[in-house]
Structure 1
């Protein structure tokens, strides 16, 4: 019995120390995992807000109507103006973002937020980076600038499914080939670090 007593105390000591070590040790996931989860939740919220607007129409086809005017008002404009960028800004605002908040389409593609321009957007490598709630821009040869924008809903190979305002006088979803996209921007993460 005398030889068992020290053995028992030794095992008990190891068990208690192991338990205390486990209790004191907190498991922290990597910061990048936390950022990724937060990013996905924010993106999902923006898409949820935008998708709920699908079907909103202009009242007379002149950039007007109650809901359209609410999008425009969010960016400081009244009825009668093109509203695709105002719609995107409004969706971000409803999701709790202070920016973007601009009715001018080119303003949604500052260098710090834009991760592809021109032909680079058609590259298969880019398609892997495109995420829901990123903003796409369509170039107009007559305007000589990006003059239509919308939200990426999801990717399907070389196509983006979109949610966009002021397309056919309403909010709708379209399927666009990446070759038609002039620019893509990310307003969710700072400085496109995670893009």
Structure 2
């Protein structure tokens, strides 16, 4: 590429990835002068909406057939970078006991039935059938596959993602369904994303069981290569944020 052609290519991709919508509203309002006389005037409101698609969703359109086949191989082999798919959790401790936990109900509806299904998966080791259901021929880092499998079992075709940072987080954020660390109105079935090394990149994802006054409780796949129930302080620094589901 020359600098000019590279700039043109970036502009072409951005035009495919981002959509800017401007709509104008006109309201008729009144004002009163010093003598008490009312006059009508037009009050104009400009609404600005920016939507975007994850860049990976454009791969087939952007790449030629040979490049796209290479891209699919890259995904299957993780490009020699396990964190592309979310590295799971290195936690080798056992699944936690929920005895005595009293969950605090927020105002958002959750999906307790989904979380009962997720709890039934606790004890699974190795991630089969979650990564197989997703379409992989062999084991990958499978925390996101587990979350997607659970959503599918609950009748949701989306979100469906195998990568935490490049698929999962953008899906929620682009739809306005995101809560940062410390967000308290979480509900059963929301996704919880973790950034273990605090580099701004999501490394792991699980499902929210609920919260009490101080902790969030989860069901996670690929926690030490197993499905486990875990809990964390609501302000735990490695919580990147929450994907908020609409049920």
Q: TM-score range by the shorter chain?
A: 0.5 to 0.7
* 5+ residue gaps, structure 2: 1-106
Deviation readout 1:122-152 (Å, 9 max, x if unpaired): 2xxx21x111111000013277510100000
Aligned partners of 2:121 and 2:227 also within 8 Å: yes
In the alignment, is residue 161 of structure 1 matched against residue 228 of structure 2?
A: no
* 5+ residue gaps, structure 1: 1-35, 59-67, 190-195
Cα deviation for residue 113 of structure 1 reads: 4.7
In the alignment, is residue 55 of structure 1 matched against residue 119 of structure 2?
A: no
Closer, same or farther: CA 145–155 of 1 in aligned 2, 3 Å = same
Aligned partners of 2:143 and 2:204 also within 8 Å: yes
- Say which SS state the counterpart of residue 221 (structure 2) adopts: strand
TM-score, normalising length: structure 2? 0.50
CA root-mean-square deviation: 2.1
Cα distance in structure 2, aligned partners of 1:72 and 1:155: 28
Aligned partners of 2:131 and 2:139 also within 8 Å: no
1:96 to 143, 147, 155: 155
In the alignment, is residue 114 of structure 1 matched against residue 177 of structure 2?
A: yes
Cα distance in structure 2, aligned partners of 1:84 and 1:78: 16
TM-score, normalising length: structure 1? 0.63
2:231 to 142, 152, 175: 175
2:187 to 111, 114, 131: 131
Cα distance in structure 2, aligned partners of 1:157 and 1:143: 28
Cα distance in structure 2, aligned partners of 1:132 and 1:148: 18
Cα deviation for residue 175 of structure 1 reads: 0.8
* Cross-structure match for 1:71: 130
Cα deviation for residue 95 of structure 1 reads: 0.9
- Structure 1's consecutive aligned runs of 4 or more residues displaced over 3 angstroms after TM superposition are none
Whichever structure has more helix as a proportion of its residues is: 1
Cα distance in structure 2, aligned partners of 1:142 and 1:73: 30
Cα distance in structure 1, aligned partners of 2:210 and 2:245: 16
Closer, same or farther: CA 113–77 of 1 in aligned 2, 3 Å = farther
Kindly name which structure, 1 or 2, has the bigger radius of gyration based on alpha carbons.
1
- Say which SS state the counterpart of residue 187 (structure 1) adopts: coil
In the alignment, is residue 186 of structure 1 matched against residue 244 of structure 2?
A: yes
State how 1:33-52 maps to structure 2 within 5 Å: 39-40=109-110, 43-52=111-120
Cα deviation for residue 116 of structure 1 reads: 2.0
Q: How many residues align?
A: 135
Cα deviation for residue 178 of structure 1 reads: 2.1
